[in-house]
Structure 1
């Protein structure tokens, strides 16, 4: 009888420890997963917030954008003055020197 009780306690100790360990690991994994989701959300929010407003940007700010040189920056500002501001980012296609490919890239960094 004593042997049965001892064996039972040993099994309970072994399997109980494995259960606790597996719970700790899955809790850690869940925390890492949630942290990853939070980081992706923050990156998306920063991406949206870091876009340059084409209606407020100076020539210097526009030139800092990859794909916009001094002449395109001047053309954007001149067109912006003529139309009273961009209503959509797609209107950039009307600016001389900006085609479909350039517009697609600029949409990633500019906003209205």
Structure 2
């Protein structure tokens, strides 16, 4: 069986953002692969070290996926910035646990920017 030629169309830095982006694409009938989804679910503190969760689709559906993800913006929860900053600093200093990563970044559809991961 030949593996499909996968193209990265976005990066998520939080498990909820990756799940929402994948669900949005899957609801449009696009096959989605999330790498390293399972590793980040277990060791979320290393999300930045892995470069985020890559949202990959077959190359034949990359333009359609990029169009769908262009309008996708996760809703930001209102936060008390100063309090959150102090809690994050305290957690990092006292128990060596960095704050959880979050965010989603779509890859622009320009020639040369889409990254193909599968090789024949």
TM-score where L is the length of structure 2: 0.27
Using CA pairs under 8 Å that are at least 6 residues apart, name the structure with larger relative contact order, 1 or 2. 2
The structure number with the bigger radius of gyration is 1
